[in-house]
Amino acid sequence: MAIDMSAPTGVGRPGDSPANGTSRGKGFRLNALTALIAGAIGYLFGHWAGNAIASGYQQVQGSGQNDIAVILGYLFGTVGWFAGLGALNYPIKKIFGCEPAGDEPSYEKGVGKYFRFTLDHKVVGVQYLFGMLTYFFVAGLLALAIRTELLSPTNHIFSPDIYLEVVSEHGTLMMMMMTSVVMGPFGNYLIPLMIGAKRVAFPRLEAASFWFTPASFVILLSALWMGGFQSGWTGYAPLSIQQGVGQDSYIMAFALMGFSMICASTNMIATIINYRAPGMRWSRLPILVWSLMATAFMMVLAVPVLIDGLYVMALDRTAQTSLLYGAHGGSPFLWENLFWFFGHPEVYLLAVPGFGIVSELAPVFCRKPLFGYKTSAAGMIGVSVLSFFVWQHHLFQSGMNPDMRPMFMLTTELISIPTGFLYLVGMGTLWKARIKFDVPMLFVAGLFFNFLFGGLSGVYLSDVPADVTIHGSFFVMAHFHYTIMGALIFAVFGAIYYWTPLITGIQLSSKLGKIHFWTMFITFNSTFLPLFAIGLLGQPRRVFEYAHRLQTLNDWVSISAYLLGLSLTFFVVTFVWQLAVVRKPSPKNPWHSRGLEWQGAMPPLPHNFDTIPVIQSGPYEYGDPNAIPMVEWGTNGDVTAPASVGGAS
């Protein structure tokens, strides 16, 4: 079986749409605006149908709406959204016996392509990058609203209900959207380039994975206009069953993001396994590819469990079942187990790609091979496997089957071993290296510093006696912000500074980048390090009144959070200014990387490579004057079957 990795060098077939590969004329093309209009029409139709089905018997107090109408509105609105993008043209033509254009991506110039359904993996990667940054900064604004409320223990800006709604919205937006912050932008853009492929395996799945995210984002934000939800990002029953229609936004938004993750991970696995260039053995894969492969398998296995739990919750709210409602024979423990079976692997969906990025960048700036390449790959696989055996440590305080606590304490502590492998690989790479502290390397160093606090504090939370004491406190919040924002987000910014010259051909200012790093690093630690003390002193999460003796610490944290917000705003302004106004051309391969993605044109050609690359060696053989060049350029044509494409490691 041969895999045709060729792609058109110019536009697609006559009549094909550069946006979606479907037939079109020269007139107006479907885009995000038409999708928004079609989505609104779909929502109105679904809402009307839901009211007709419910006949008013399920109307939520004071809202004038019912759960059936809202959920059906979101469902039909999502269908309208994809129809308005033109994403459904291909399957509809197939259903009616027409022969649509193929799956080969076509290429076009101009900014308009970023607002359309496109099959070009590089366009999808850029769509993801700016989409995820938008979601992150909106969630950050909600965080600043939380810290503003906590400036005083007695003088309040929000009512208790609104405060809980803001907290829930912030947590859900961060945890839901940021799961794809590496897989989306860098996985989609870079993986084909890093493995020598001209396209991804399933370009329509890849494009759909992105366009699920803005629909999910809009639906989640709509909860604020529908009374919100107060169940937090975890959505614990029975509170989530008793909430108003804002909880339906949580259900649908999380479900759509779940479908996005499944589409992205399925495409990623198929691409890495089947589309590697000749000579790209498993032992020569870039470590970022290994990390995203492990992440994709975690997504495929964990996310369907979340969607199942959301379906059960939706049934309780619409069909009057009582699967999660203990008073009527159900059990809220069902939701807790379904949610955390996804929720704890999700933590590693965030951490593993972050370590993949820093392990990819560190050898470039240390000019030495990656220390323990096989150990790093094994650590990622070990984390992926063990992440499915630790979920019940979130339920130590639930009262459910205390006899299980020792086993889950053991598995939670065991997962620190492969996680430690990843950290030690980084330390080994830095050891005795002549490090060049360019901006990306500063963010790599910042991650290692921050993750030390996050990892050590996690040991206490895995221990039952300690967890019983500090569970539900600000200590826990400090821990997961250090492991998620302190690690993942620092890795993401390092990746942005590192790969922006490749993606855009524009060189970012080193001076502005260093100002961004140092202000962000100092204010991040000034914000979250005191939260460990606040938690140990007894302040619980999700409350807006606290002991007066803790006001000074809380004020310090809030002021630091404002400064952290300013550092991120500084990045946004300078980043856009450099891309849109300054546009300083970058030299070819400015970091002198051996990575395959840097060996071709910059920015990459529309079809990635004119000829198929033949891989001769690994990507991390720095410091060896006799090292064989990583790539030899072959000829155009088909690539043989997967077994001979990748070879044996």
Question: Would you state the pLDDT for residue 322?
Answer: 87
H or E, element range at 53: helix 32-54
Query: Within 10 A of 342 (CB to CB), how many other CB atoms are there?
Result: 26
502 and 604 Cβ atoms separated by less than 8 Å: yes
What is the 3-class SS of 522-568, one letter each residue? Answer: HHHHHHHHHHHHHHHCCCECCCCCCCHHHHHHHHHHHHHHHHHHHHH
**Rounded Cα gap, residues 259 and 261, in angstroms:** 5
Query: Within 10 A of 512 (CB to CB), how many other CB atoms are there?
Result: 17
Q: Which residues of the chain have pLDDT under 50?
A: 1-26, 60-62, 637-649
Torsions phi, psi for 520 (to 5 deg): -70, -45
**Rounded Cα gap, residues 56 and 64, in angstroms:** 9
Give the domain ranges of the chain. Answer: 120-582
Structure tokens at 219: 């639906």
Residue 346: Cβ-neighbour burial (10 angstroms; 0-12, 13-18, 19+): buried
**Rounded Cα gap, residues 183 and 188, in angstroms:** 7
DSSP string, 111-172: GGGGGS----HHHHHHHHHHHHHHHHHHHHHHHHHHHHHTT-SSS-SS-HHHHHHHHHHHHH
Question: Would you state the pLDDT for residue 532?
Answer: 95
Question: Would you state the pLDDT for residue 108?
Answer: 77
**What is the end-to-end Cα distance of the chain in Å, rounded?**
21
For 237, what's the count of Cα atoms within 13 Å in the CB-facing half-sphere?
27
3-state secondary structure of 615: strand
Q: Give the model confidence (pLDDT) of 573-603 as tens digits.
A: 999 999 999 999 999 999 999 999 999 888 9
Structure tokens at 629: 């060049």
Which residues does 54 contact at the CB level (< 8 Å), separation at least 6? Answer: 66, 68, 69
Question: How much is the pTM?
Answer: 0.90
**Rounded Cα gap, residues 125 and 105, in angstroms:** 14
Q: Give the model confidence (pLDDT) of 64-91 as tens digits.
A: 578 899 999 999 999 999 999 999 998 8
3-state secondary structure of 66: strand
**Rounded Cα gap, residues 643 and 639, in angstroms:** 11
**Rounded Cα gap, residues 492 and 52, in angstroms:** 47
198 and 608 Cβ atoms separated by less than 8 Å: yes
Residue 269: Cβ-neighbour burial (10 angstroms; 0-12, 13-18, 19+): middle
State the architecture of 120-582 in CATH terms: Up-down Bundle (1.20)
Residue 595 Cα distances to 108, 278, 499, 502, 628, angstroms: 27, 16, 11, 12, 13
Q: Vertex 63, ends 62 and 67: CA angle to 5°?
A: 125
476 and 540 Cβ atoms separated by less than 8 Å: no
Structure tokens at 618: 């690994």
Residue 632 has what DSSP assignment? E
Structure tokens at 540: 């619980």
**Rounded Cα gap, residues 409 and 402, in angstroms:** 11
Q: Vertex 295, ends 614 and 382: CA angle to 5°?
A: 95
